[in-house]
Amino acid sequence: MFKGIVYAKSFQLAVALFILLLLLPPFVPRFYVYILALIYVTSLLAMSLNLLVGHGGMFQFHHAVFYGVGAYTVALMLTKTRMPVWVGFLAGPIAAMFAGLVIGWFCVRLTRLYFGMLQISLGSLVWAIVFRWYRFTGGDDGIHGVPMPPLLSSLNRSYYFILIILALSLMLLYLILKSPFGSTLQAIRDNPDRCAAVGINVRRHQLLAIVVATFFAGIAGVLFVVLERSVFPDLLFWVLSLEIFIMCLLGGWFTFAGPVLGAAITVALRTFVGIYTEYWTLILGVILILLIFFLPEGVMGYLLEILKPRAKEAAGRRE
Amino acid sequence: MLHVEGVVKSFDDFKAVNGANLVVGRGEIVAVIGPNGAGKTTLFNLITGQLQRDQGKILFKGEDISALPPYEICHRGIARSFQIVNIFPRLTVFENVQVAVLSQQKRSHDLFSPAQSIAVEKTQSILESIGLAGKGKNIAGSLSHGDQKILEIAIALGNEPELLILDEPTAGMSPEETAATMELIQCLARTRGLTILFCEHDMEIVFSISQSIMVMHQGRTLIQEKPEAVRQNKEVQEAYLGGE
Amino acid sequence: MGVSYGAADLISQFLVGISRSMILFIVCAGLSFVLGVLRVPNIAHGSLYMIGAFATFSLSKVFAGSYGFWFALILAPLLVVLISLVAERALFCHLYQREHLMLLLFTFALSLIFGDLVKLVWGAEYRSVAAPDLLKGSVSMLGSSFPRYNLFLIFIGLGVATALWVFVNKTKIGKISRAAAVDREMVGMLGINVSWVFAAAFVIGCYLAGLGGALVAPTVSITLGMDHTLIIEAFLIVTIGGLGNMWGALVGSLIFGVTHSLGVLILPQFAIIFPYAAVVIVLLLRPKGLLKSVW
C-alpha cells in the first residue's frame, strides 16, 4: 500500500532526475560535468558492492579488486591489442566476473570474518602482481592515454555514455533485487542457517551473487577508463574497497539507492575538501566515526524513517 | 518412513546423544519427550543435518541421509521449525514463507522475474491455513512472539514436506495460543497428509495427540511406545518424576 | 636469474628471513591477541606500527648519542599505548555492545585519521634511524656474515614470545583474557568487568604494534604507506595462523618472512609473490588457518 506509493513516486523522481542530468552538460562548467561523471562511476561501483553487503550480508572487504580488473582489462585490450573497442568494453566486466568467480569460490567456503579476511588476502595478491609487473601493467605508473572511439571523443559524450549505462545498470540491479534471487539473497542475509533448512544451497547462491556484483563492478571499471583514459594500481587498493564500504554505510545500506547517495556525497566532499586541504583521509575518518555513532542507518535510511509515517498518513487519508 | 538407529554424538567429551533410536511411520504423529538436556534438540539437529553424527544411521524413506547437508535433506522431504524463533526478521511475513516456496519450486536462482508475482497463490494459501493472511505485509521482526512461532511453522510448510519436524512449537505461548497451535498442527496433518515428529514439554498435549511417544533420558532412548504404555512404564516414571 | 648461490648464502638469507619474521611476529601477536579477545581485526594496527617507527625516529634524535635508540625503543611503544588508550576510552569502548562490523569500521576510521596525523606531524619525506653502536656491523656465522641487529631481533622475538606465553598462561589478566575470548558472557557473569578486559587487551595489542615499529626503524626507510603494507601482511599472517591464535601468528610470520627472504634469491623484483603464494597454498589446504582459531 504505502510502499507502492513511495516507490512509484521515487520512480517518477528518478526519471525526472535522469532527464535533468542528461540535459545538464551544455549549461554547466566542464569541471562539474567531470565530477558528475565521476560520481556516476563511483555510484555504480558502490551499488554493486551493496548487493553483497547490504542485501546479502556478506563481508565483501576487497570489492575494488574487481573494479580494477575490469578497468585494467579494457585498458590493456585497447592499448596492447587491435581488438575493436566494444570487445574491450565487454571484456572488462567478463574478466571482473571471472575474477569474482575464482576469488569468490575460495571465500564462500568460509563464514563472515574469514570470508572478508581471505578476500583481502587474495585481493592483495592481485594488487601486488599488478603493482609490480611493470612490463605488462605499467607497475605503479599505470597505463595512460587509452584510446577511445570517436563516439566517445569528448568529455560531454563520455558523460552521456556513462549516465546511460549507469541508468541501465541501476534498472537491472533493481530487477535483480526484486526477483526470487534477490529475495533469497536477503533471506540469506537475515538467517543463513534457516535458508539451508528450507533447501537453499547458501554457498552456491552467495557465489552467484558475487558473480553478479563483480560483473557490475567490472562495468564501473570500464566506465572509469572511458572517463579518465587511464588506469593505476590504486584502483585495486584495499583502501578504496573500504571507502566504497563507507559510501554504502553513509547512504544507507538497507535501502536500494542509498549507495548512490553515499557515493555522491563522498566524491563531492572529497573534491571540494581537496581544494582547501590535503588531509581528506583524516576528514573521511572523522565522518566515518560520526556515522558509526550517530547515523548507522545512513542518510537515506534516516530520511526514509522520517518519510514513512508521513506516507502512511497520506495513505490513511486516502482511504 | 524415518529410522534412527543407534545414533551417537559427542561434543568434546560430552555425549549429548548416546544411543538414540526412533521410528516414525508415514502419516503418524510422533512425540519425543524427555527432561531438559536429554538430547532432544541435538537429535533433531542430527536428523536435519545441522550436526553430523559420530555413529549410527539415519534413514529416510530407505535412504541414508546421515551425511547430507541440511539443504539436501530438505529436498528429500523433511522440513523443520526451530525451538528458538528462526525467521527472517527484515523481510515481510509473506516474503518469509515465499522464500521457502521459491526454494521448493527451484526458482531461487531466478534473476529477472519479479518475485512479487511468483508463487503468490501457494504462499497465500499457506498463510491463510495458519491464520496469518491479514499480516502478510508486516515486517516479520515486528510480530508478537506467538505469531512468530506460527510463522516458524508456516515457513517449514512452504517446502511441502512429507515429514514435518517441530522443535517445541508451543514454547513461550499462552494456554490459548498453545491449544490453537496444536489444533492447527493436527488439522494440517490431516489436510496435507503430513507426518509429524515433534518434541514438547507440555505433557497433556503430547499424550492427547501423539500416536507414539519416544522417551529420551541423558542422550539415550528409553522406550518408544503408544502413549498408554509409556505412561505406565516404570523407567520413564523414574526418569521424569524421580528427578523433578 | 643465472646467479648461483652457495649454501652459505642460503643459510644467511634464511636467517635474515627469520629475523624479519620476528618483527612480523611481534606485530601480529598483538593483532591476534586483540582479534581473539575482541573478535575484531584492528585495522589501525598498521598505523600504530607506523607511529611507533616515526616516534622512534624523533625520540632517537631527541636523545642524541649512543643511547638514543634504547630510550626510543622504550618510549615509542609507550607513546603508542597512550594514543590507543585515549582512542579506546574516549570512543571505542562505547561500541563494545554494537555489532562487530561497526567495531571494524571504527578501527578503519582510526587508521585513516592516524595515517593523516603522521603526515601532519612528520611530513611526507623518508626518515631513517641508525642502529645503536652496540648493534652495528656483523658477526660471522656459519660461513657468512650476519648483521648484529638481526641477531638482536631474533633474541627479542624469542623474548617476546616467552613473555607472552607467561602472560597468557600464568598471569590472572592473561587467563581472564583467554576466557573472555572464548566466552565473554561467562566472564561477565563471574563479576569481571568485560569492558576493562577489552581495554587491557586492546592496549597490549597496540603496545606490541608500537614495539614492532620501533624495532623495525633501523632496518627500513620509514615512510608513509608503511601502515598499509604492514596491515595487509599482518592480516595474511593472522589468517593463515588461525584467527586469534598467537602461536599461529608465530608460525605464519615465519612462513611469511622466510619465503620472502628466500624468494629474493630467486626473483628479486617479485619476491613478494612467494609469501603470497605460500598464503594461498595454506588457505587452499586449511582454509581456517594452520592452528586452531581461538573461537
Do residue C106 and residue A289 have CB atoms under 8 angstroms apart?
Answer: yes
Residue C181 has which C-alpha cell? Answer: 575470548
Could you tell me if residue C291 is inside a domain? Answer: no
Q: Where are the alpha helices (DSSP H) in chain C?
A: 7-38, 45-62, 68-90, 100-122, 148-170, 172-182, 184-189, 194-216, 226-241, 246-266, 273-285
Do residue A183 and residue B82 have CB atoms under 8 angstroms apart?
Answer: no
Among the listed residues C167, C288, C191, C106, the one whose alpha carbon sits nearest the alpha carbon of residue A111:
C288
- Mean predicted confidence (pLDDT) in C247-275: 88
- Mean predicted confidence (pLDDT) in A239-262: 91
Do residue A179 and residue B111 have CB atoms under 8 angstroms apart?
Answer: yes
- Determine the Cα–Cα distance for residues B111 and A234; give it in Å rounded to an integer: 33
Q: Which of A109, A122, A286 sits opposite C113 (nearest CB)?
A: A286
- Mean predicted confidence (pLDDT) in A200-210: 94
Q: Which of A122, A132, A288 sits opposite C280 (nearest CB)?
A: A122
Task: Annotate B164-190 with b (16+ C-beta within 10 A) or e (fewer).
Answer: bbbbbbbbebeeebbebbbebbeebbe
User: How many domains are there within chain C?
Assistant: 1
**Å between A317 CA and nearest CA of chain C:** 39
What's the Cα-to-Cα distance from A10 to each of A16, A69, B169, rounded to whole Å? 10, 33, 42
- Please report residues of C whose CB lies closer than 8 A to that of A118: 239, 283, 287
Cβ contacts of C133 within 8 Å, gap of 6 or more: C66
pLDDT in tens, C211-247: 999 999 988 889 998 998 898 899 889 988 888 888 8
> Which pLDDT value is given to residue A314?
57
Quick one: pLDDT band at residue B67, thresholds 50, 70, 90?
confident
- Determine the Cα–Cα distance for residues B97 and B122; give it in Å rounded to an integer: 9
Quick one: pLDDT band at residue C4, thresholds 50, 70, 90?
low
- Mean predicted confidence (pLDDT) in A12-35: 90
3-class secondary structure, A245: helix
> Which pLDDT value is given to residue B178?
84
Quick one: pLDDT band at residue A315, thresholds 50, 70, 90?
low
Do residue B95 and residue A189 have CB atoms under 8 angstroms apart?
Answer: no
Give ipTM to 2 decimals: 0.86
Beta strands at B220-225 and B212-217: parallel, antiparallel or unpaired:
antiparallel
Query: Range of C189's domain?
Result: 7-285
Could you tell me if residue C204 is inside a domain? Answer: yes
Among the listed residues C221, C237, C250, C219, the one whose alpha carbon sits nearest the alpha carbon of residue C289:
C237
Q: C269 in contact with A at a CB cutoff of 8 Å?
A: yes
**Å between A247 CA and nearest CA of chain B:** 22
**Å between B84 CA and nearest CA of chain A:** 11
DSSP class of residue C271 equals T
What's the Cα-to-Cα distance from C204 to each of B229, C80, C185, rounded to whole Å? 63, 10, 22
Residue C75 belongs to domain with CATH number:
1.10.3470
Q: Which of A109, A238, A239 sits opposite C287 (nearest CB)?
A: A109
> Which pLDDT value is given to residue C2?
47
Lowest mean pLDDT among B21-35, B42-56, C10-24, C170-184: C170-184
Q: Is the pLDDT of residue A3 over 60?
A: no
Return the CATH number of the domain spanning residue range B1-76+196-244. Answer: 3.40.50.300
Quick one: pLDDT band at residue C1, thresholds 50, 70, 90?
very low
Residue A53 has which C-alpha cell? Answer: 553487503
Residue B105: phi and psi, rounded to 5, are -85, 5
Give the DSSP H/E element, type plus range, for residue B8.
strand B2-11
> Which pLDDT value is given to residue A161?
94
pLDDT in tens, B172-197: 888 888 888 888 888 888 888 889 99
- Mean predicted confidence (pLDDT) in C26-54: 92
Quick one: pLDDT band at residue C295, thresholds 50, 70, 90?
low
Residue in chain C nearest A111 by alpha carbon: C288
DSSP class of residue C130 equals P
- Mean predicted confidence (pLDDT) in C79-93: 92
Residue B216: phi and psi, rounded to 5, are -110, 145
Could you tell me if residue C229 is inside a domain? Answer: yes
pLDDT in tens, B133-183: 888 888 888 888 888 888 988 899 888 899 999 988 888 888 888 888 888
pLDDT in tens, A70-104: 999 999 999 988 888 899 999 999 999 999 999 99
- Contact B/C (≥3 CB pairs under 8 Å): no
Quick one: pLDDT band at residue B243, thresholds 50, 70, 90?
very low
Strands (E), C110-241: 138-141, 144-147
> Which pLDDT value is given to residue C14?
86
> Which pLDDT value is given to residue A49?
96
Lowest mean pLDDT among A305-314, B37-46, C203-212: A305-314
More confident call, B211 vs A207: A207
Q: C61 in contact with A at a CB cutoff of 8 Å?
A: no
> Which pLDDT value is given to residue A1?
35
> Which pLDDT value is given to residue A2?
39
Among the listed residues C155, C157, C217, C156, the one whose alpha carbon sits nearest the alpha carbon of residue C25:
C157
> Which pLDDT value is given to residue C119?
93
Answer whether A153's CB lies under 8 Å from B91's CB: no
Q: Is the pLDDT of residue A44 over 50?
A: yes
Residue in chain B nearest A183 by alpha carbon: B99
Q: Is the pLDDT of residue C78 over 80?
A: yes
What's the Cα-to-Cα distance from A302 to each of A64, A195, A312, rounded to whole Å? 27, 29, 16
- Determine the Cα–Cα distance for residues A212 and A193; give it in Å rounded to an integer: 23
Cβ contacts of A174 within 8 Å, gap of 6 or more: A256
- Please report residues of C whose CB lies closer than 8 A to that of A285: 108-113, 116
3-class secondary structure, A108: coil
Q: Is the pLDDT of residue C293 over 50?
A: yes
Do residue B90 and residue A186 have CB atoms under 8 angstroms apart?
Answer: yes
> Which pLDDT value is given to residue A87?
92
pTM > 0.90: no
Q: Is the pLDDT of residue A42 over 80?
A: yes
**Å between B48 CA and nearest CA of chain A:** 8
Answer whether A230's CB lies under 8 Å from A143's CB: yes
Residue B133 has which C-alpha cell? Answer: 493472511
Q: Is the pLDDT of residue C24 over 90?
A: yes
Answer whether A263's CB lies under 8 Å from A42's CB: yes
**Å between A288 CA and nearest CA of chain C:** 6
Highest mean pLDDT among A191-205, A209-223, A295-309, B230-244: A209-223
Do residue A200 and residue B91 have CB atoms under 8 angstroms apart?
Answer: no
> Which pLDDT value is given to residue A312?
58
Taking only residues 68 to 97 of chain C, the set having a beta carbon closer than 8 angstroms to any beta carbon of chain A reads 91, 94-95
Alpha carbons within 13 A on the beta-carbon side of C192 = 19
